Structure 1
Amino acid sequence: MVDEGDAAPDFTAPLANGDVTQFTLSDRLDEAPLVLAFFPGAFTGTCTHEMETFEDRLGEFDDLGATVYGVSVDTPFALDAFREDSDLTFGMISDTNRRIVDAYDLAMDFASLGVDDVAKRAVVVVDGDGVVRYEWVAGDPSIEPDYDEVRDAVAALN
């Protein structure tokens, strides 16, 4: 896992935002703080609740000048369907090749389900210089982030 104070690993990946475009972290630093909300899989109970909670609180992040992105190993087409089904307005980064979860050391397996190499539930906040200013990783994938703590971490950057 990257630690607070580390340079955020740069990456380029498909962005599901109603269309499918390209997202490069270093090209989006003008949108910082960037809240990267990693989650194991679209259309699952806890992941859906987490992304819907970020959506419900999106105004708080907007007011702080932050941009929220979901990140999972789902295809961009599945993520667009997930966005539509859950009425999400923020973009979803598709890491089907697992380069991002590997670079951030956030890969995990659901051995009991036979599913390998998905994203751990985690939140990383990146500032305008590309530095990680907050990181949280769930020890248990059923645990959601402390949304107030994430908001406070973003507010501390202002």
Structure 2
Amino acid sequence: MVDTGDAAPDFTAPLANGDVTSFTLSDRLEDEAPIVLAFFPGAFTSVCTDEMCTFQDRLAAFDDVDATVYGVSRDTPFTLNEFRAQNELEFGLISDLNEAVIEEYDVAMDFDDLGVHGVAKRSVFVIDADGEVTYSWVSDDPGVEPEYDEVEAAAEDAA
């Protein structure tokens, strides 16, 4: 599992930002770090919606330290754009439809009783301009949200 002090795995994936563009982590570090990657199991589910809306509500705190927030899930970029629109999210959402990013960060989980496999565990990574993970939090309980004050403090420390 990716942990604090590790080099963040680089990746390229579709970015839902009102349109659909390409996102490559290493290309964004210089201008956007610290970068907060907030993995969530699925758009339009209650806890995931609450989490992404909480990041939106606290976006000014991240902006104040020049940190950039991205959500990451296995949903299609088109689903994520609708999720962004319906929840008025101002930050981009990364589509990991093929599970490559989830696998790289080792945060895959299954809901066997639902027949759903390979979605992201709720987790947060803060990555500094050098590509180092300066904060990591991974929950095995999909109903638990991150400690937002900790994430904000980690982003400020990484700035």
Q: TM-score range by the shorter chain?
A: over 0.9
Structure 1 residues 4-32: Cα deviation after superposition (integer angstroms, max 9, x where no partner): 11110000000000000000000000200
| Long gaps (5+) in structure 2 | none
Any residues of structure 2 matched to 1:101-120 within 5 Å, and which? 101-120=102-121
User: What residue is the counterpart of 2:77 in the other structure?
Assistant: 76
User: What residue is the counterpart of 2:23 in the other structure?
Assistant: 23
1:156 deviates by: 1.5
Aligned-partner Cα distance in 2 for 1:65–1:93: 19
Aligned-partner Cα distance in 2 for 1:37–1:3: 14
Structure 1 residues 109-149: Cα deviation after superposition (integer angstroms, max 9, x where no partner): 01111100000000000000001000000120000000000
User: What residue is the counterpart of 1:39 in the other structure?
Assistant: 40
TM-score normalised by L of structure 1: 0.99
1:108 deviates by: 0.4
Aligned-partner Cα distance in 2 for 1:157–1:17: 24
RMSD: 0.6
Aligned-partner Cα distance in 2 for 1:28–1:157: 15
| Long gaps (5+) in structure 1 | none
User: What residue is the counterpart of 2:53 in the other structure?
Assistant: 52
User: What residue is the counterpart of 1:9 in the other structure?
Assistant: 9
1:157 deviates by: 2.1
Contact 2:34 2:68 in 1 (8 A): yes
State the identity %. Answer: 66
Contact 2:127 2:158 in 1 (8 A): no
Aligned-partner Cα distance in 2 for 1:75–1:124: 21
Moved over 6 A (4+): none
Structure 1 residues 20-73: Cα deviation after superposition (integer angstroms, max 9, x where no partner): 000000000020000000000000000000000000000000001100000000
DSSP-derived class of the 1:21 partner: strand
Structure 1 residues 88-118: Cα deviation after superposition (integer angstroms, max 9, x where no partner): 0100000001000000001000111110000
Aligned-partner Cα distance in 2 for 1:139–1:153: 21
DSSP-derived class of the 2:158 partner: coil
DSSP-derived class of the 2:42 partner: coil
